[in-house]
Amino acid sequence: MDTDHYFLLTSHLTLKAGARRLVSDLNWRIQVGECWCIIGRNGAGKTTLLRHLAGLQQSGSGQISLEGRALHHWPLAELAHRRSYLPQGRNDAFAYRVIDTVLGARHPYHDGNFWESERDIQLSLAALKEVDVDGLAERDVRSLSGGERQRVAIAAQLAQDAHCIMLDEPCSALDLSHQISVMELLAERCRTRKKTVLMVSHDLNLIYRSATHALLLMPDAGWLAGPVAEVMNQDALSRCLQHPIQTILHNGQTLFVPGHQALEGKHHGAA
Amino acid sequence: MSKPAAGPRTRLILTALSLTVLASLVLAACTGSVAISPADLLQAGADYFTGAPSGLAATLIELRVQRALGALVTGASLSLAGVLMQALLRNPLADPYVLGISGGAAVGALTALLCCELVWMMQLAAFGGAILVAGLLFVLAYRDFRGSGTAEGSATTLLLTGVIVSSGCMALITLMLSLTPDSRLRSMVFWMIGDLSATRSSIFTWLVLLGVLAYVLGRARAINISVLYSDSAATLGVSLGRLRKGLFLCAALLTASAVSTAGAIGFVGLIMPHACRFAWGPDHRLLLPASCLAGGSFLVLADTLARTVIAPQQLPVGVITALIGVPVFLLQLHQHRQHHGH
C-alpha cells in the first residue's frame, strides 16, 4: 500500500480508557488540504484520539505516522512546525498579556533568540486581527470573557502556522457569527494554504458547511470516515450520536435536526 | 514580550535594580550602632583595596558588608527559588518552602543544634536535610516529572506530596523542640525564623545562585511557554518533563543553599516574585533576573532594619520580612482584585 502521500495516517490504532474500548482498529488516512471533523458522543474518545495524534499521549496500540514517519520518532521541535494543538480548556495562572500568549506560539521559530523578532510580532498581531481580537492585544488574559479567550487561543494556533491545526472544540464558547467565521477561516486555510485541519465539534450544521471530511466515532468503538457528503447521513449520525437525526434540505442548504426519541423509538439508537 | 523595545526595557529595569542593590549595600555598610559617613566608607574602601584596612571604621564596614552580602545572596536565592517554584507548579501561591524542602533543612539543622553547636555542622546538616527531602519528593512524585502530567499541567502530585512531606517535617521539628533543653531553644527558634547575624556569604551560595540563574535564563522562553500553555507546551516543542526536572532541581538547590546559610527566612520567596510580576509583568526573561536583584536588595534592607530598629538588640530578619511582607502582600492582592473586579 502506498502510504507516503498521506499527511497523517493511523493503522490499527486502538484506544482505551481503563478497560473500556474507545476506538477499535482505526485506519484513518488524512491528506494535505483536508478539513476533518471528529463527531461522537461525550466520552467517545474524541479528545483522547486528538491528543494521540498530537503526540501528547501514547497509551494506545497501533501506529500513527506523520509524513511517512512514525509520530514518536519526530523530534519535538520539528513536530512543532508540523502540527499545533488547541486543548479544550484553558487556565491562566499568571497575568500575561494577550499578545504574550500569541507570541508564545511563535516559540518553534525562535532559533535560539532571546527575544521575539519583529516578524513574530507582526504575524501575531495579524493572527489576532484574523479572529477579531486585535483590540485586546494589551489586555490581561485573565480578564477576557470565555469567548474572547477562546478566540485568542485560536489566534495562537494561526500564529504557530503549523502544517496541521488540531483543535478540540474550537467553537464551544463562541457566539454564532464567530463560530461561522472561525470555521470559514479554518476551511479557507485548508483550501488556499495547504493546511490540514482536524477538529472536534458537536455542531453538525457547522461541520457540514465547512468541513470536507468527517470521522464518526461509534458507541461500540467502531468508526466511519469519509467525505462529509458520504458519512454525514441520517443513519450513521443517528447511530453515532444515539439519537435520531433528520436531514432537511432548506434553500439548498442541508440541515441536521434532532428527531424525537420517544416517537422514533429506542431501537433506532441501539441499531 | 511584545514591544520591539522589550530588550531595552529589560536592560533599563535591570540597571535600575542593580543600582538599588548597590545603594542598599552602601546603606547597610553605613548604618548601625556606630554610623559611618559615605566619605569614610569611600576611604575605607580605598584602604581595603590597597591592602591596609585599619581603624574601627574599616573593621565595622568589613563586618557589615560581609553580612550584607550574605543577605544579598540569600534574598536573591530565595526570590529566584520562589519564581521557579511558582512556574513549576503553575501556582502563584507557591513559595520555596511549600514543598517542605525548608522543613527538611530545619530538621537537619535542629538535629545538628541538638547534638553539637558547630556552625558548619549545622549548615551541612541543613543542606543535607533539604536535599534529602528534594530527592524524596522527586521519587514520590516522579509521575509529574515525566512530562505528560495532568491536563492542567500543574504538577498536582508533586504539590500534594510536598505539602504532606512538609507537615511530616513540622511534626519532627515540634518533637525536637519539645525535647530540647531550654538553653538551646533560643538559637533553634532564631534559626527557624531566619537570622542573618552569623551569616557570611560563602563562595558556594554565590556559585549556586549564579549557576542556576544562567541555566534558567537560557530556558526563560521555554518557562514562559510552559507557564502559558501548561500541558500542551509540548506541542510548541518544549520538552516539559526535562524542563520540570530542571526547574525542580534548581529551586531545590537554591532553597537548600539559602536556608542552610540563614535559616528559614519567610516571605521573601513569595512576596518578591509577586512584587516584580506586579510591577513589570510575568515574562520570565525579565522576571528571573529582576526578582533576583529585587529579592537581594529587599533582604539587605530588611536585615539592616533588623539590626538597627531596637539596637543594641538584634531581631531575627525573618520577623522583619514577615512584618513588611504581610501587609504589602495584602495590599497588592486587594488592589489586584479591585483592578479586575473579581
* Torsion sign across C-alpha atoms A188, A189, A194, A196: negative
Whether A236 has a pLDDT exceeding 90, the answer reads yes
If one counts every other C-beta atom within 10 angstroms of the C-beta of residue A141, the result is 22
pLDDT in tens, A29-78: 999 999 999 999 999 999 999 999 999 888 888 999 999 999 999 999 99
Question: Of the candidates B92, B277, B285, which has its C-beta nearest A114's C-beta?
Answer: B285
Domains and CATH numbers, chain B: 8-340 (1.10.3470.10)
User: Which positions in chain A touch B285 (Cβ < 8 Å)?
Assistant: 114-115
- Residues on chain B touching A17 (C-beta within 8 angstroms): none
Taking a C-beta distance cutoff of 8 angstroms, is the pair A154, A165 a contact?
Answer: no
**Considering the entire predicted model, what is its pTM?**
0.90
Contacts (Cβ under 8 Å, ≥6 apart) of B244? B88, B144, B145, B147, B149, B155, B226
Judging by beta carbons within 10 Å of its beta carbon (0-12, 13-18, 19+), is residue A53 exposed, middle or buried? Answer: buried
Q: Which of B152, B227, B231 sits opposite A56 (nearest CB)?
A: B231
Beta carbons of A107 and B231 less than 8 Å apart: no
ipTM exceeds 0.90: no
Indicate which of B3, B14, B235 best probes the interface with A, i.e. most A CBs within 10 Å of its own CB.
Answer: B235
The predicted-structure confidence for A84-132, as pLDDT tens digits, reads as follows: 999 988 888 899 999 999 999 999 998 888 898 899 999 999 999 999 9
Q: Tell me the C-alpha distance between A243 and B53, whole Å.
A: 90
Q: Which residues of B touch A (CB under 8 A)?
A: 1-4, 6-7, 90-92, 148, 151-152, 154, 220-222, 224-225, 227-232, 234-239, 277, 281-283, 285, 340
Give mean pLDDT, residues A236-240: 94
The nearest CA of chain A is from the CA of B286 a distance in Å of 11
Three-class secondary structure assignment of chain B: CCCCCHHHHHHHHHHHHHHHHHHHHHHHHHCCCCCCCHHHHHHHHHHHHHCCCCHHHHHHHHHHHHHHHHHHHHHHHHHHHHHHHHHHHCCCCCCCCCCCHHHHHHHHHHHHHHHCCCHHHHHHHHHHHHHHHHHHHHHHCHHHHCCCCCCCCCCHHHHHHHHHHHHHHHHHHHHHHHHCCHHHHHHHHHHHHCCCCCCCCCHHHHHHHHHHHHHHHHCHHHHHHHHHHHHHHHHHCCCHHHHHHHHHHHHHHHHHHHHHHHCCCCCHHHHHHHHHHHHHCCCHHHHHHHHHHHHHHHHHHHHHHHHHCCCCCCCCHHHHHHHHHHHHHHHHHHHHHHHHCC
- Residue B127 phi, psi dihedral angles, 5° rounding: -60, -45
Residue B148 pLDDT grade (very low, low, confident, very high; cuts 50, 70, 90): low
Residues of B in contact with A108 (CB under 8 A): 236-237
Mean pLDDT of A150-169: 95
CB atoms within 10 A of CB B95: 25
The verdict on a CB contact (< 8 Å) between A56 and B152 is no
Instruction: Check whether B128 has a pLDDT greater than 60.
Output: yes
| pLDDT given at position B40 | 77
Contact B203, B138 (CB under 8 A): no
- Rounded to a whole number, what is the distance in Å from the CA of A143 to chain B's nearest CA? 7
**Cross-chain residue pair B281–A96, CB shorter than 8 Å:** yes
User: How far B228 CA lies from chain A's nearest CA (Å)?
Assistant: 7
Residue A165 grid cell: 491545526
Q: Which residues of A touch B (CB under 8 A)?
A: 54-57, 76-80, 83-87, 89, 91-97, 99-101, 103-105, 107-108, 110, 114-116, 118, 121, 124, 137-138, 140, 142-143, 160
Positive or negative torsion for Cα B157, B158, B161, B163:
negative
Of the listed ranges A45-49, B44-48, B292-296, the one predicted with least confidence: B44-48
- Please state, in angstroms and rounded to a whole number, the distance separating the CA atoms of residues B74 and B65: 14
Q: Which three cell numbers stand for residue B168?
A: 511530616
Give the Cα separation of B13 and B25 in Å (integer).
18
- Residue B57 scores a pLDDT above 90: no
Chain A residue closest to B91 (CA)? A93
CA B203: distance to chain centroid?
16
Tell me how far apart the alpha carbons of residues B6 and B220 are, in angstroms, rounded to a whole number: 14
